[in-house]
Structure 1
Amino acid sequence: MEEGVDSPPTSKKRPRRPDDHQNGSGLGGGGGEKDFLPYFKPNYKRLYSENSINTEFKVFIENKNGQDKIGNKSPVYLNHIFSNIKGVVAIRRINANKIVVIFKQHNTANNFLNNNSFLESHDLKAYIPAAQIEKTGIIRFVPATISNKELFSKLTSTFEIIAVRRFMKKVGHELIATQTVSITFLSNFLPESVQYDLFSYRVFDYVPPLQQCYKCFKFNHHAKICNGKQRCSICSQEHFYKECPKPNEICCVNCSGPHLAISKLCPIKMKKIVDKKNKITYASVANSKLNIDFPPLPVCSIPVNKNDNTITVNNTVSKNINNSLSKNVNKSIISKPVSQASNIKSQIIENSEVLMALVHTLVQIGNKTDDTPITTTFIKDILIKNLPS
């Protein structure tokens, strides 16, 4: 094989560490290499929180034995066994091995997850996918002398931290700790920053590596679920790379270029990596900014009466504020799609539901009695809950 060309993947794999945040044990916190093992919140189990913004609370169900495929069961059978489960509003098939049970309240979903007698009697396992309730970000320039356990114990955030992992790089035959750390939060959104004593670390989006199948060498799936044919990462023909009869005739499976299928020289692979980064960055901006430039409320004094949820304004605007929020608005204006950016402000001002949501958000913030810091993320979450669905 020519020098400078990426070597094909080997069959050796690093052993996967147990999913300790599900079984309750906490890794890390020891000496040497143990300092850089992922550290999870002890006894953590994925459950929906009270302040979750989910509109549907999904619980995924699979068979424990892997032989009996619950996704192929009759709807009559599924309706029968779930008829006595409180709070179930829908059941959907995901695939042959998996279904999803949907609840409208977080507490009924959590009660089902803890219903061991039901799950054991039907040989089922129930879980919440991490993407439903967890969000991972990264912080940079963290000294490698600080262990994951110490970071977990000292970092503070507006959202609960449930896992800390340090990025590692291979130098020769040794893994070296980098200064980049990933943090998993019990939230659908990332905080703007986390605190290490007095020092503030900015939180960035975590972009997971692009998945590439080592069977067909296409993207966004793993070899164990691949339905494609075995392809060679060297010559792109239908055989395993170790059996390649033409190791010097290199041809990419995806673009037919003179490089290996796993190489970053592949323009198709690089485009997918860039698209993935752009997609995650756009999504994070849309979530944090709501992708809407809300206009300011009319300039007036709006003191909040903390004894109730009423709003007191001066006489110059009080005669119109309640009527303008309650009277019927031309529905064609509300439902009309926004074709130009210049129309956004006028449509929001004329939309009583959006204005009412903004007012209710101000009232809730003014009536707040706990010590939760008022951040942009905190305000955004309240506004989302007040906006009409």
Structure 2
Amino acid sequence: MPPGANSLGNNRFALLSPGPKNKRKKPENSTLEFFPELPISKKDDPKYLIIKSQDAKKPIASTSCFAVHKGIQAISKEINKITPLRDGSLLLLVKNQKIADKFLQTKHLPGAGAVEVSLHNSLNSVKGTIYAPFICQLADDEIIDGLKDQGVSEVYKFTKRNNGDRVPTGALLLTFDKYTLPSRIEVAWCTLDVRPYYPNPMRCKICQLLGHTAKRCNKPPACAICNLPPNHTPPTECSRVKCANCDGDHPSSSNACPKYVQSKEILKIKTIHKCSMREAINLYKSQKPSTPSSFSYANVTASNNNNINIEKTSNTNNSNDKIKASTSKNIATNIHSIHSDCPVTPSPSVSSLYNSPSPPFSPLSTTTSPTTITRSSTSPVPSSHPQSHTQVPIDT
């Protein structure tokens, strides 16, 4: 067919319309370059320092507190907390390691003289546990060397007894030279979670009391089940089950003992807040106020007062009953004497006066004679309790 004009068909304006749009090619599947990781922002790692005077006879506490404070402020003002200690030294919590280095280089403090500055032994570290059974067969030095760039300074392997032998459980206790505990740690190619570690209360194996160990015990030995002298074979020969700490009906080694649970919570507060044992106890009491003991002085005094009030009330009631009885007896005696002295017709007895539902006679009325007693036909109904009236004779 010879070349010619395009066939327009019935549409004359086909040449004016735009041609078909070119389809966009799909992009080739190219590997995306990952965005490089941002550097981890380092947080301030506070440090605890101890400032101690080199002269033992002249501790820092004996000098002027204003002069010592000015001397500390002259070194650095980025100090979070200052606490005096019992031995006369000062405990400082500084902002970071850089400021701690300034104090560590200090040999003379204005206002206090020659001083010695050192890091605190235990407050500058935290402990956490990880589960890594694949490194339990390694030596402790090798583990510390592999994790020292993450702040690990000590390691302890938890073990359990299996057929008389100690076998590692796979859990490890790591000590970090940091103020706060990291949430994760990288062990070779693994990333493991770090859980905080809270120590258990100490329990003496001799006296079974909490708070100390057998090395520092000076109390008599006791059985862990019955809390009696251990001159028998427990538990078959124990006559009772009694705790040495709370006097409960469970062994002294029970983890469900209320005193054990309380001590564990106090140690948890002490570990979290990095405070002394006394401060941890005060925080525990403020969070969970304890109910007063039933043998406290206030309760005993209150119970004694209640007993005294009850005795006074009973004595008062008894005396009132005696007074009522004596009064009724006197009234009956007076009525009997009146009837014996006056020549009147026999009348019902005194007991019938109280027991009869209706009054047997009307009140006494007088005539011309003071000793003549008559019954009035139109007298008002007497009261429930007869009364004696003193009548005066009337001269007609």
Same fold (TM over 0.5): no
Which structure has the larger Rg? 2
| Structure ranking higher on relative contact order (CA contacts 8 Å, 6+ apart) | 1
Q: Could you say which TM-score interval applies, normalised by the shorter chain?
A: 0.3 to 0.5
TM-score by length of 2: 0.40
